[in-house]
Amino acid sequence: MKKFINSVDAMLAESLDGFAAAHADIVALGPERKFVRRRSVNANKVALVSGGGSGHEPLHAGFVGTGMLDAACPGQIFTSPTPDQIVEAAAAVGGRAGVLFIAKNYAGDCMNFEMAAELFAGAAATVVTNDDVAVEKSTHSTGRRGVAGTLVVEKIVGAAAENGMDLKSCAQLGSEVNARTRSIGVALTSCTVPAAGTPTFALGADEMEMGVGIHGEPGRKRVALASADAIAEQMLGAILADGDGLSGEVLLLVNGFGGTPAIELYLMYNAARRILEQRGLGIARSLVGSYVTSLEMAGCSITLTQLDDRLTALWDDPVHTAALRW
Amino acid sequence: MKKFINSVDAMLAESLDGFAAAHADIVALGPERKFVRRRSVNANKVALVSGGGSGHEPLHAGFVGTGMLDAACPGQIFTSPTPDQIVEAAAAVGGRAGVLFIAKNYAGDCMNFEMAAELFAGAAATVVTNDDVAVEKSTHSTGRRGVAGTLVVEKIVGAAAENGMDLKSCAQLGSEVNARTRSIGVALTSCTVPAAGTPTFALGADEMEMGVGIHGEPGRKRVALASADAIAEQMLGAILADGDGLSGEVLLLVNGFGGTPAIELYLMYNAARRILEQRGLGIARSLVGSYVTSLEMAGCSITLTQLDDRLTALWDDPVHTAALRW
């Protein structure tokens, strides 16, 4: 296992300490590192609290800041945060306008966020993201997995909350954005979970895992390595064949899994862009980078969100976090 | 070779097309993709033109925009841009205030930027960065290599140029920032140059290359894999032992080489931060991320720049590029 690490047990704590120190102008760590919160809490707005297993950085702590999340609860690597983490985060950032929990659809996350919502003394609502079209159920979830589309939900609802939207409307908006968002991923290599010390799965030199989950969970099929264009065709084919499909103007997010550099992500973005334009879809907004990672996995996901004028305006609203700024 | 790629020959062009499309609000591609320039050229200021071999993304094209570069010339992967690329970029963005070329100290880059400066009709000056303390000469350079510290030079001089500084002063400032900046890198894995198809160098499962260059050039020594703290000690030891050393307030940049995820980079930042504080240095500014990469190499570099009030203010000035924004 080749990682920058001192010990498996201390990895998360040390990385969080580094994150909080590097971005002390934006965030602060909660007691015992139970959560990362905005440095300046705004108690007059709906507070967005997300979280999940670590190993997906910058998701979620990198999205804490003005215009996006109010707090994020990091679990151990690929492990859900505990209900008490979530309750303490909500108490630290929530005010009279209430707290919106945003969880990705994994069994542990759903259970712990649900328990937290019950334990939390204030008003709360929950949005669960499940944008991954690859599989209908997986080793980690009942129903579809929540993956990189979670970023889109957090950004758009974050902007709405910043603008004063009430709790019920924020929850509805989050569900709407999630329903308009579809993702699929592909892995070229496996990640190695530090506590395991060996790769999560084995891939041949000429193989890739189409539909991989962000924890290295199996996808749709193990297939032969293909050209970037052919990979993008497979991925977008799966997304566009899903449900009623997408039309009109979309947000295109090409997300790296941690081990794939920018030169390849922009090439994949270019391949996806050409395919979408051939199919008559307009790319109204774009984002390219490693935002929802799987440790050092090489690979990427493609996410499309069907936009309308309101969602585009919320996407464009200012955001000031460690990982997203405009 | 597991990469998102259609063909070796088209890789750079397709990635540049994707980059330009994804960031069409900030940049535009020059004819035949010879350079990336700001979408809106400001002819009243000193124009900063950088460039170098590709494979280091987001360096340099990701730093084109308000407050930083005016244009960047991408060579083929790990290959210098040609003089005509550089001259055309200078002609496209340069005005009466002249053009400052910023090159990293590699034989090909120096020769081609020098030739371009001679061919260019307007006023020009050149800054060459050589911040890498690892080796005094290498397979690619006479003298020290220019590495991630180039980002610091481009940011600080970019801010000064935006504020109206004249050409001669910009060149002096660039040299001063370079002289105050020291870097060293370490590789955990090799990168694979697409045209070669096989890893540039071989590393055992328990080995790392201390002092590696950003093209996978040999560093100081092949050493045993160590803890993050021990690696940071070795790296900062080399930086702080160099020349007259550094004191007072520094900028700390922990830069990923492309295959190392954020969770590890923040952990390395944390290790470096603790060591610097123990040694009595103040970390006035921080930057953590994959900014000067070596394709998909796993590894990182640490860069320190000794700041003063003037340099800190220039670092803090607004920047709006694809890769750096504040």
pLDDT value at position A245? Answer: 80
pLDDT reported for residue B244: 83
Contact predicate A49/A86, CB 8 Å: yes
Task: Name the pLDDT band for B132 (thresholds 50, 70, 90).
Answer: very high
Q: What span, in angstroms and rounded, lies between the C-alpha atoms of A2 and B189?
A: 8
Q: What is the pLDDT of residue A277?
A: 96
**Per-residue pLDDT at B101:** 98
Hey, do B11-180+317-321 and B181-308 end up sharing a CATH topology, with the first three levels equal? no
Q: What residue spans define the domains of chain A? A: 11-180+317-321, 181-308
- pLDDT, tens digit, 9 for 90 and up, residues B160-169: 999 999 999 9
> How far out from the chain centre does Cα A148 lie?
4
B254-304 per-position pLDDT tens digit:
999 999 999 999 999 999 999 999 999 999 999 999 999 999 999 999 999
CATH code: domain B181-308 is 3.30.1180.20
Does residue B209 have a pLDDT over 90? yes
Look at residue A138 in the predicted model and tell me its pLDDT. 78
The one-letter code for the residue type at A173 is L
Q: Which CATH architecture has domain B11-180+317-321?
A: 3-Layer(aba) Sandwich (3.40)
Reference B151, options B120, B106, B181; nearest CA is B181
Q: What is the pLDDT of residues B84-105, one digit of tens each?
A: 999 999 999 999 999 999 999 9
B contacts of A263 (beta carbons < 8 Å): 11-12, 15, 54-55, 57, 293, 295
* Confidence check: pLDDT of B137 > 90: no
Q: In terms of Cα–Cα distance, which of A235, A219, A223, A222 is closest to A137?
A: A219
Residue B115 scores a pLDDT above 80: yes
The verdict on a CB contact (< 8 Å) between A57 and B261 is yes
CB A20, CB A65: distance < 8 Å: no
User: Would you write out chain A's pLDDT as a tens digit for each of its 326 residues?
Assistant: 999 999 999 999 999 999 999 999 999 999 999 999 999 999 899 999 999 999 999 999 999 999 999 999 999 999 999 999 999 999 999 999 999 999 999 999 999 999 999 999 999 999 999 999 999 887 777 899 999 999 999 999 999 999 999 999 999 999 999 999 999 999 999 999 999 999 999 999 999 999 999 999 999 999 999 999 999 999 999 999 998 888 899 999 999 999 999 999 999 999 999 999 999 999 999 999 999 999 999 999 999 999 999 999 999 999 999 999 99
Taking the CA of residue B272 and the nearest CA in chain A, the distance in Å comes to: 9
Q: With H, G, I as helix, E, B as strand and everything else as coil, classify residue A290.
A: coil
Peptide bond into A60 cis (omega under 30): yes
Query: Residue B139: is its pLDDT beyond 80?
Result: no
Residue A24 neighbours by CB under 8 Å, 6+ apart:
A39
pLDDT at position A142: 83
- Residue A56 is among the residues annotated as catalytic for this protein: yes
A253: nearest CA partner in chain B: B22
Pairwise CB contact (< 8 Å): B296 & A55: no
DSSP string, A116-184: HHHH-SS-EEEEEE--B-S-SS-SS-SSSPP-THHHHHHHHHHHHHHTT--HHHHHHHHHHHHHTEEEE
Lookup: tokens for B316: 């803090």
What is the token pair recorded at A131?
A: 């944008």
Taking the CA of residue A144 and the nearest CA in chain B, the distance in Å comes to 25
pLDDT band at residue B48 using 50, 70 and 90 as cut-offs: very high
- The whole-number pLDDT of residue A243 equals 84
Backbone angles phi, psi at A300, to 5 degrees: -155, 165
